A and B are shown apart, each in its own frame.
Chain A
Amino acid sequence: MQAQLESLLQAASAELDTLTTPDALREWELKFTGKSGALTKIMRGVGALPSDERAAFGKRANEVKTALIEAYVAREASIKALALARDLEEGQIDVTLPGRPATIGGLHPSTQTLRRYREIWAEMGFQVYRSREVEDDDTNFTLLNMPPHHPARDMQDTFYTTTPNVILRTHTSPGQIRSMRELGADGTQPVRVILPGMCYRFEQITARSEVQFHQVEGIAVGRNIRMTDLKGTITEFARRMYGDGAQIRFRASYFPFTEPSIEIDVECFLCGGRGCRICKYAGWLEIAGAGMMHPSVLRNGGYDPAIWSGFAFGMGPERVTMLLHEIGDIRYFWSNDTRFLEQF
């Protein structure tokens, strides 16, 4: 019996050393140390031994069992380590194969730019006032210092509706009048709002011009609003929109509803002002029209222009989006071609 025990230890240990897979380990366990394995069988034979030998045999049998279990555990660990090593070494996949597509949606590029504008202006205390797109002629033109047949009306080709004096707004500026009248408490409260929205012009649709486009206009009306504030405010906007170093310049211009009127250029953010195709080698990109609100406009908004003053500015999100992404055709915006939209 003792000899059987020793040869079992020998045989089992030797066999264990040859094993390389978890399956073989399980078979080995059944064969040697399991409930009906060889060791159990030998240990069951203890009854047949003389009683004075039983203790010694039992002790030895337990030693053998412990030894085999320890060896098994060690072997199991080394097989696992081996398998892991092999997997790490051999389990390579083609990481260049495309991943499973996730379904994600996306915002229209104009919405993205409008949001950026809104966020920046909100941080600077300008909140959104929305106003209607189908407007009356008075609010779109006359109250903005453009009476009928005023030459400045040539600057804005207009869609007229079949209802007399009702038009599609040509700019977001009628929102100046509406917001002052609604929020200004009869010219007693300051107002600071932006007026984002869709505008319409009676134009041929080409790569450069569209019948509809967004504008983001803003006004600040107060008792002490100066042109230097306009410059400071726009500089701050440009810094947030185009980066810390953004340089701007003011050029004299003309809008009937502001005086003085200016156009605002930002140093070309594509070439850093060195001159490129996009900025037409000027080094500057026009980003806004602006100015001090015209006395008549303030008056039409309910304010006394001798006491109150204000500035106004207007920007075009599609134009900026086109510049930033070098989009050569404005018609992409409302065509909603998935191949365009998916790039945003």
Chain B
Amino acid sequence: MLVPISWLKDFIDITIPPELLAEKLTLAGLEVAKIHYVGVAQTAVEGIRLPPSDHLVWNRDKLVLGAIHEVRPHPNADRLIIAMVDHGASELEATVTGAPNLFAYRGLGVLPSPLWTAFAREGAEVWDGHSAIRQRMILKEKPLRGIPNRCMVCSAYELGIDDDADGIILLHENPGFPPGTPLQDVFGDVILEIEFTPNLARAISIYGVAREAAAILDVPLKPPSFALTASGAPIAGAVQIDIREPEYNPRFTLALLRGCTIAPSPEWMQRRLRAVGQRPINNIVDVTNYVNFEIGQPLHAFDYDKLAARAGGSTPTIITRFPEPGERLRTLDEVDRALDAHNILVTDTVGALSIGGIIGGADTEIDAGTTNVMLEAASWNNINIRRSMSSQKVFTDASYRFSRGVHPSQAILGVQRGISLMHQTGGGEIASGILDSYPRPAPVVTVDLHTDEIARILGVTIPAGEAAAMLKRAGFTVRQSGNTLKVTAPDTRMDIDTDPVTGQADLIEEIGRIYGYDRLPTTMIADAMPPQHPNPALEIEETTRDLLVGLGFRENIAYRLTTPAREAALVPPGAESPLIGQAHVMLANFMTEDKTVMRRTLLAHLLETAAANARHSARQAVFEIGAVYLPVAGAALPDEPRRLALLLTGTRDQAHWSGGHAVAATDARAVFDFYDLKGAVEGLIAGLHIGSAHYTRAQHSSFHPGRSAALVIGERTIGVFGELHPLIAERFGMSEAPVLMAEFDLDLLISANKLRDFPVRALPQTPPVLQDMALIVPDTVTTEQVEAVIRQTGGAIVKAVRLFDVYTGEPIAAGSKSLAFALTYQTDERTLSDKDVAPIHAAIARACATQLGATLRG
């Protein structure tokens, strides 16, 4: 909300610079998001930093209040006129202008009362009203069509008050200063833009902010006048009130103004409304807005004659109630609304007049011919208003305040203030008496607060007297007995709880705000350290991240919101897959079509991101660790198991000037393949000290059936990895080089770790004997099988078996392959010789021959 300092001064004396006031309000929870300056300079305040402002500062000598006494025609130009302006000098200044709003006065001679305007003397700096871009200009003497001219009458734009303005500033009422008064003193202002948190409902008005400021600054608060002069016939008999739902409409008040005249509001009121961002309409409607902004009580004005006509001769009755089934209302914004069952209505015996607290109906609105005004100020249940706002999608200044909570005590003040201002600006006669139906009075909240409780929460000891004084500044009534305060909340507040502990917390917060949190000392927690709850799963997850970084992978964190279609795109047409046909956690409201469900796999986003990155990166090695969301039948909340996904694609080595591994994505030897990914998986397994991993062919339709594997630890399948199915790679535009991916169940993977207690082998005491063995085996025989036979046959003396060559082609017969192993024989018992090893080596070869059909390669 925009809060002009000039308006605040109606209610409190402000002697500190606006910047300091803004800082104090901000620290006390009324966050001043921005300070707007109108014509006046920023004040430098020690210790407060402010953004530089490029607003126009009105020169006190050169921009002054002017009074136009006559508007003469320009002898040489139809589109120009000459204003004769009193600006405090000895003579009137003839000022040439094209201001469209002055032409009506051309040639009328000396005006009976002057028109007041903003006057710029020669040398004044203003915004250039004739420039298409926003720029400043210095006013210079320059004849206009033969008439000497050195001064200017200014528009709101030229002064930086408003973004667009047709015509000059023109007031018919004397703003209270003599001609020549520096404009800063007349229209200069500082406007605080305050953002209110939901607990500050009481403060969403100028008076509300003044009340907070008075408490913070410890200065007296001057309330607006709620007095009224009612001389007319009584309201009783003219209208009656029937509240049917007191819980939702605890109070309803009405006042009546007879015989008023609809006209524009006085200029001071229009200026204030504009300053808070409101558009003036007419004196009656403007007062409803003015009072809403001034004291925070929304008002609604009805044309009484329209109500009376609807009543058809009987006394109009205002009934507040919930809608009848199927009831509709055409509201002021010209929308014909179907009403929801909880939309509380203001109605009469004929039908709905307005949605209570939210928006008025078109049938009884004020128009130019209105003479009798009935003014409503009511109180509504804020939660119900909130529901109605969201179901009707109407957000008005009234509903904003009512939805946050306006205390019922404010209704009577609002109706008094409103009817009185309407009388002041529209004339007529106020009917005697105010109808006040208040079936559900708000409870008076009293809380007992002991100073020990303040110290228990805030950590500082505040003497009872001091605490009481602070609460009184905030409008509370306090009765002190010893160190206990009996505190009664003011009738502006609905946020003090009746629950004793919560109520105390509410008061302690008030004391804290006013005391100032910056004054609190710092202490360290005095309590003993509570029982510690380490999180080993997280620790190992972090170790896994580190291992993968060491293996050259870069971490991704993707959106966890996705679409079923994006995940289904990982499956070739017609194939079975766990990725399709499964339930997702599905959003009921989604922002965009590409984020409608929570993911069930990490692969889709990882692949999509890789495809995007492939446009500029020839090589990608990435991983993601994160949850997937799997609905559980019969349970409201899903499982959120964690997964690890890996992706490798593109060139194995990075391009370098030394050539050597000069690579092209099309060179099969130069791009990542299955064994690069497997190497990384093995590195990870080794890093986590998982002993029993093995690899079997995978059955997963997203992967190439021949070049993918399942990682199995013990008896459990941890996940699948390998080359992405070529059809899927093509679908994602990734056909140039193989895409290698893995997705593992992270919880299963890390549960197999032996990080804490893996055994360390003793260093060998004897030299090893190294012997190679090249075997020709049928293609169907796997390396794992050969290695198993070698180890089985050789026994413990075979310390290591390392495959160092795989060969197919001449002279190896088709259907066979050559596998060359380097065997390390070693035992701590003695130093082995070639002679010791020879029989074992031969036995291994024989075993391979008999068990696997292997022959030694010559």
Contact = CB atoms under 8 A, between A and B. Distances in A.
A220 B425 CA distance: 58
B403 A338 contact: no
Interface string B528-552: 1111111100100010010011111
Given A105-B551, A204-B591, A133 B629 contact: yes
A264 B457 CA distance: 18
Nearest to A132: B640
Contacts of A281: 49-52
A158 B230 CA distance: 51
A190 B50 contact: no
A211 B456 contact: no
B561 A211 contact: yes
A149 B387 contact: yes
Contacts of A136: 636-637
Given A149-B387, A150-B383, A193-B533, A97 B49 contact: no
Nearest to B550: A105
Given A253-B197, A339-B616, A128 B535 contact: yes
Interface string A137-154: 000000000000111101
A250 B613 CA distance: 43
B617 A228 contact: no
B501 A305 contact: yes
Contacts of A166: 585, 636-637
Interface string B366-405: 0000000000000000111011000000000000000111
Interface string A293-333: 01110000000011001000000000000000000000001
A125 interface: yes
A127 B524 contact: no
B27 interface: yes
Contact of B29 (A228, A252, A274, A292): A252
A40 interface: no
Interface stretch (A20-28, A46-54, A70-78, A107-115): A107-115
B278 interface: no
A105 B627 CA distance: 21
Contacts of B535: 127-130
A283 interface: yes
Interface string B772-810: 000000000000000000000000000000000000000
B458 A226 contact: yes
B656 interface: yes
A231 B460 CA distance: 12
Contacts, number: 274
Contacts of B268: none
Interface stretch (A55-63, A79-87, A255-263): A255-263
A92 B198 CA distance: 71
A56 B27 CA distance: 111
Nearest to B631: A163
Contacts of B527: 190, 222-225
A192 B530 contact: yes
Which of A110, A228, A292, A335 has most B Cβ within 10 Å? A228
A16 to B, nearest CB: 41
Q: Report the contact-size class of chain A (Cβ under 8 Å from the partner).
A: 35 or more
A245 interface: no
Contacts of A202: 589, 591
A294 B527 CA distance: 19
Contacts of B586: 161-162
B656 A100 contact: yes
B199 interface: yes
Contacts of B656: 98, 100-101
Contacts of A116: none
Contacts of B534: 127
A125 B197 CA distance: 32
A145 to B, nearest CB: 9
B171 to A, nearest CB: 36
Interface in B45-88: 49-52
A160 B591 CA distance: 11
Interface in A166-224: 166, 168, 183, 189-193, 198, 200, 202-205, 211-212, 220, 222-224
Interface residues of B, number: 102
B585 A161 contact: yes
B636 A163 contact: yes
B28 A252 contact: yes
B611 to A, nearest CB: 12
Nearest to B616: A339
Q: Which residue, of A104, A152, A342, has the highest number of chain B Cβ atoms within 10 A? A: A104
Interface string B564-596: 000000000000000000000111111110010
A260 B509 contact: yes
Given A103-B621, A136-B637, A198-B560, A211 B29 contact: no
Interface string B613-655: 1001100111100010100000011101000000000000110
B609 interface: yes
Nearest to A333: B557
Given A106-B549, A338-B616, A228 B513 contact: no
Given A106-B555, A127-B533, A228 B198 contact: no
Given A110-B557, A127-B533, A262-B517, A296 B525 contact: no
A107 B553 CA distance: 9
Contacts of A204: 591
A10 to B, nearest CB: 51
Contact of A228 (B459, B548, B613): B459
Interface of B: 26-29, 31, 49-52, 197-201, 382-384, 386-387, 403-405, 455-460, 499, 501-502, 505-506, 508-509, 512-513, 517-518, 520-535, 538, 542, 545, 548-561, 585-592, 595, 598, 609, 612-613, 616-617, 620-623, 627, 629, 636-638, 640, 653-654, 656-658
Given A151-B382, A233-B525, A295-B502, 14 more contacts: A108-B557, A127-B533, A151-B201, A183-B531, A222-B527, A228-B522, A231-B521, A235-B522, A260-B512, A260-B513, A260-B517, A261-B509, A274-B49, A335-B609
11 contacts: A106-B555, A150-B383, A190-B527, A190-B528, A226-B523, A227-B512, A231-B523, A232-B522, A261-B509, A309-B456, A334-B559
